Structures are given as C-alpha cells and as structure tokens.
Structure 1
Amino acid sequence: MTTPTAELNEDFSEPGATAVPWADAERVLAAAEMFFLSTVRADGRPHVTPLPAIWDRGRLHICTGDREQKAKNLARRPECVLSTGSSRLHGGLDVVVEGVALRVTGPERLRALAALWKARLDWDFEVGEGAFRDPAGRTGLVYGIRPAKVLAFGKGPYTQTRYRFG
C-alpha cells in the first residue's frame, strides 16, 4: 500500500490546524481492537454493529459468522464503513474507513490472519475451507476491506483530514 495524500478540510478544522499525518491515522487503525461496521440491509436500512478488526497489509480484516446479518449484507452489497476512535470530546483521533469488503479465502492468508487474531485478540480460530472455524465448529467468514477513502477527525485541535489513495 502506498502512502496516501493527506488533505486538511479547513471548513471543518480549527484555524491554523494542519492535516493529521497518515502515520498517526494508521497507528490508530493498528492499535484499535474494536470498530463499528456499517452495512446496508436488502431493504436499504442501515445496519451497524461493533466488532474487532485487524489492520494488516493496508487493509482492515473482519470476521463474521456466515449466518449473521452483516455477512448477508456484505454478500449482497460489499460497500461498507468501519470506524474507531475515542469516546472523548476533547482528545484523541477518530478514524473512518470507507471501502469494499472482499472475502479472504486463501488458506495461507487465513492462517496468517488466524495467528494475528490469536496474538492481538486472544481468539482461537482454525482454518477450514475458505473460512475460519471457532472452537465450537462455527464458520467465520473473513473479509479484507481495502480503504477507498479514510477520514481522520482530530479533537485537540479539531481537524478533519481526508486521505486519498492512488
């Protein structure tokens, strides 16, 4: 992944503020354990749910049960948004990632991601046929979301930075 171009939106930033460097936004993505995933239901209604995600190789990776609403939504419409950050008003950095969720099914990549889930979140997954299996034998579909657009919202000073890729 190439380093994106950072652009400060002065309309939504404090006077004199500067764009948040990509390294700062990427640090938030790598350190965060929980994100909010936004998808769209078949009837157009939004669906938002908290879930862990792993930042690796320029993508956010998520796992969801094959029968869960988010899996149904992503199968029909893979465009989604993941967000993470601080619940504080006057500090921290919130990051929003817009992209397309693509299934990860290769056994080598799934094994590498399962190792990351264990190391970072202490979750045990085995690799089955194109998916994770948890200790109870349930199927976990794995998706990688490559950022199409990322926004970072600083809260001390208040800033809005957009990152352009490619």
Structure 2
Amino acid sequence: MEPRTTELDPRYSDPKAGALPWHQAQERLAAAEMFWLTTVRPDGRPHVTPLIAVWSAGALHFCTGPDERKARNLAENPEVVLTTGSGRFDEGTDLVVEGAAERVTDETRLRALAAAYEEKYGAEWRFEVRDGTFVGDGGPAVVFAVAPRTAFGFAKGDPFGQTRWRF
C-alpha cells in the first residue's frame, strides 16, 4: 500500500530535512523488534503496553491473549497507535502508525504470519494455527492487523524532520 500523500512538516523539521520515503519507513517497521501499542479503555483512559509485531502485507500484526486488557479494549474500540524507534534523542527514526486493529482469522494468512514471527523472533515464538488463533506455550492468542491510516516518521539528529503519510 502506498500513501496518498507524503509531506514534510516544516514546523518540526530542519530546513535541510527531506521527507522520508515510505519504502524506508516500511523497512524500519519490518526490522523493528519492539513496539508500544496504545489502546483505549472503555472509560476513555489510554492503555499502553510493549509488544512484538511483524510487518506483512502493508500492515503491522500483533497477537495477544483473548482475555488481556488490550484485547478487551479492542473489542470496544479498535482505534490504536503503534510506535517504535531508537529511544535516543540524537539519532535514528521514530515511527508512529495510527489505524484500526482488525482481527485476523483466515488460517492461511495466520500460518504465513506464524512463520514470519518465528523467522523474526526465533523458535521461542513458534505458533500453531488453530480455530482462527495462534496457539503457543501461553495458550491461544488472537491476532490483529493494523494497516496505517496515518503514519509519522520523526528523523532525529542532523537533520531533524517530521514526515507524515496519509493513506
């Protein structure tokens, strides 16, 4: 999926900065090991948790136990934000993906995602696919896909820059 628009925000960017191409952002999303997921509790308060995810078919994919707080939040409100980055002020690129989390239940797609998890994170993250879920040592896990509606890239260092992609 390609963005409808890519724009550098001059308010938050050095005059030397250029917009980050989407393909570079996708490469960073695919390589990132750790993400922070923000969901909304039923009472409107935010809930943030770290998790692992894989980039596949134009979306970030993550899994969670069906009774975990994030799964319960998503049952009420699918709107999420996923963030990743270097954690440093002066280097790297932080990425923010906004969108709606959609449950993935197609077993062919789930098998491909299970293989992607194992390839990226190792045999410790091996899942079987059963009844529209991942099944691992921790029991069943529901899988969600978040295709970006809007994404931001924050280049840090020299030059600083903020790119926004709209889909």
Tell me whether the two structures share a fold, i.e. TM-score over 0.5: yes
The correspondence for 1:159, drawn from 144, 158, 161, is 161
Amino-acid identity (%):
53
Where in structure 1 are there 5+ consecutive unaligned residues? none
Give CA deviations for 1:71-124 in whole Å, capped at 9, x if unaligned. Answer: 000111000000001111111000000000000001101111111111111211
CA distance, structure 2, for counterparts of residue 11 and residue 39 of structure 1: 28
Q: Match for residue 89 of structure 2? A: 89
Partners of 1:135 and 1:8 in 2: how far apart?
A: 44
Does 2:148 correspond to 1:144?
Answer: no
Matches within 5 A, 1:49-68: 49-68=49-68
Q: CA deviation at 1:16?
A: 2.7
Letter in 1 for 2:62: I
What residue in structure 2 maps to residue 77 of structure 1?
Answer: 77
For the 8 Å contact 2:2–2:22, the answer to whether it is kept is no
Q: Give the unaligned 5+ runs of structure 2.
A: none
Tell me, in whole angstroms, the C-alpha distance in 2 between the residues paired with 1:81 and 1:2. Answer: 19
Report if aligned partners of 1:4, 1:22 keep a CA contact under 8 Å in 2. no
1:41 and 2:44 correspond: no
- The Cα shift of 1:5 comes to 2.8
1:112 corresponds to: 112
Where does structure 1 differ by over 4 angstroms across 4 or more consecutive aligned residues?
none
TM-score (norm 1): 0.95
Give the counterpart letter for 1:161 in structure 2. Answer: T
Aligned length: 164
Counterpart of 1:54, as a letter, is V
* Superposed CA RMSD: 1.0
Q: TM-score, normalised by structure 2?
A: 0.95
> Retained in 2: the 8 A contact 1:151–1:163?
yes
Structure 1 residue 3: Cα displacement: 4.6
